[in-house]
Amino acid sequence: MVYSVIMKKILVASTNQQVIDTVQLSCKKYANYFDADFYTDTDAALSFIDYELPEIKVIDFTSSEIDCHRIIATINSDPWLHNGGIIAVVSNAAEAQAVDEQKDPNILIVQTLINFKENFTRLLRILWRNQHFLFNRGMQDNFGGKETGSFVCGCDPMDFRLYTRFLVGYMYSSNRISNDDLYSLQTVLMELLTNALEHGNCNITYEEKSAWLENGGNILSLIKEKCKQPEIASRKIRIAYAIGHTKSKFVIRDDGAGFDWRKYLNADFSEGTHGRGMKLSESLVSSLSYNEKGNEVTFEINNLKDAANTIPSIMQSFANINFLDRQIVCRENEMSNDLYFIVSGRYAIYTDNKLVSVLSPNDMFIGEMAFLLNDRRSATVMSIGGGKLIKVPKVSFLNLIRRNPHYGIFLSKLLAQRLLNSNKKIISMTAQLEELKKQVAIPSELPILD
């Protein structure tokens, strides 16, 4: 799978010079890939988020002048427009745990100031290598097909936390999981990856972990202690994924000796605490299985099908319109410039009685060209199998944009992205055509046959 290389914007909301210096120094190493903007004022930071839709946001809780909770609450208030990519910087481990326990789906990672200074350059490297997971809704290159890949983690929990957020955020932003599914998938991935690290690679037994915690120890410090052994430090955790249209599959494998998974997976849920994570994970997915050795677990989830998992806040006041199978939404050349937001279903697009495209909730809108150009409909749109749309009259939407101008900017960026994707397809098809011409080239002089 080939992804476009576009510079990623980083918002930094901080008055802490250590945070600012760390980001500036790291971005110098990746000057062609990341562009950081720094704000010491909450309102200015929120304005930048609204208008620039940055993929990565560094929110510094150590800066008392910045209202971090207000920034995060604003992002969460409109998850359709502002999704993913927060790196939270906090003062100490206790504050990190408090922020992490909120299970905010938009937070990629929580770092203490010390860890942030040590890890930010590595974080940028990981983010760049996996840039296709960082996009604003509608700005991705590929949708609807089967996407496969893998991650390789070391024994640092930060790695698999990031990869978990990548996968969960991507699944959510591409309408493959609902709000409830988002938390379920995140829980399952973290439970199974934590087991792979603690009990697989680090070979920490239930008894050893219990004793360590009872004596006031922290599990991360126990992992660090174990990783002082070169054999354990060199072990890896591999995460493979196959994200399809109707189902998605995940495989997690560690380098440990394995375990008797049947003993815990078949045990009663109420017995003790060990194995609860496995039982919980099994209850949240459509299927879960281990290999014989016990160092590899596979699970599947069912994806949302042809449905948007959230609706833009500014469109929620308009009425939903249900369409039956083969019902016409609009006809080619008719005078109409209303905008339709796709809530569910699939819609066939016909031009000159020829099928030219099929739209789904991933395409977001129907009729944006007539809406913007104040023109006749360029195509006939027909519902396939029934669905639901939100019809937004042009005057009403323009009034909304006047009150929320960042939505107009988003619509412009969305159309620009679609044009960019179309150009890429044209370039690719042109190259294929030229190659085909070379293969079937007719010589200037044909041989005379007897």
pLDDT the model gives residue 48: 93
Measure the CA–CA gap between 109 and 88, rounded to whole angstroms. 6
- Residue 307 dihedral angles phi and psi, to the nearest 5°: -150, 140
Q: How far apart are CA 88 and CA 170, in angstroms?
A: 19
Are 195 and 277 in contact by the 8 Å Cβ rule? The answer is yes
Superfamily of domain 313-403: Jelly Rolls (2.60.120.10)
Q: Cβ neighbours of residue 281 under 8 Å, at least 6 residues apart?
A: 187, 188, 191, 192, 288, 299
Neighbours of 117 (CB within 10 A): 17
Task: Return residue ranges of the chain for CATH 2.60.120.10.
Answer: 313-403
Give the residue range(s) of CATH 3.40.50.2300 domains in the chain.
1-137
Q: Please report the pLDDT score of residue 3 as a whole number.
A: 45
What pLDDT does residue 385 have? Answer: 92
DSSP string, 148-162: EEEEEE-S-HHHHHH
The predicted structure's pLDDT at residue 391: 93
The C-alpha atoms of residue 122 and residue 159 are separated, in whole angstroms, by: 10
Task: For the beta carbon of residue 305, count every other beta carbon within 10 angstroms.
Answer: 13
Q: What is the pLDDT of residue 91?
A: 96
Query: What CATH number does domain 143-304 carry, 3.30.565.10, 1.20.1070.10, 3.40.462.10, 3.40.109.10?
Result: 3.30.565.10
pLDDT of amino acid 2? 42
Q: How far is CA 235 from the centre of its chain?
A: 27
The CATH T-level fold of domain 1-137 is Rossmann fold (3.40.50)
Instruction: Give the per-residue SS3 of 207-250.
Output: HHHHHHHHCCCCHHHHHHHHCCCHHHHCCCEEEEEEECCCEEEE
The mean pLDDT values, 10 residues at a time, for the chain of 450 residues are 62 97 94 92 94 90 96 85 84 90 84 95 88 69 68 88 88 86 91 92 86 83 90 94 91 92 70 62 88 94 90 86 95 87 95 91 84 81 95 88 83 76 76 72 52
Q: Which residues contact 261 (CB under 8 A, 6 or more apart)?
A: 278, 290, 294, 297
Phi, psi (rounded to 5 degrees) for 400: -65, -40
pLDDT score recorded for residue 47 = 92
- Phi, psi (rounded to 5 degrees) for 421: -65, -40
Write out the residue limits of the CATH 3.30.565.10 domain(s) in the chain: 143-304
CA distance 186 to 189: 5
CA dihedral sign, ordered 215, 218, 219, 220: negative
Element (H, E) at 284: helix 276-284
Closest by CA position to 23, among listed 42, 38, 8: 38
The upper half-sphere exposure of residue 223, i.e. CA atoms within 13 Å in the direction of its Cβ, equals 17
| SS3 at position 354 | strand
Taking the C-alpha atoms of residue 344 and residue 385, their distance in angstroms, rounded to an integer, is 10
| C-beta atoms surrounding 382 within 10 Å | 19
* CA–CA separation, 130 and 445 (whole Å): 52
* Residue 353: CA count within 13 A, CB half-sphere: 0
pLDDT of residue 1: 43
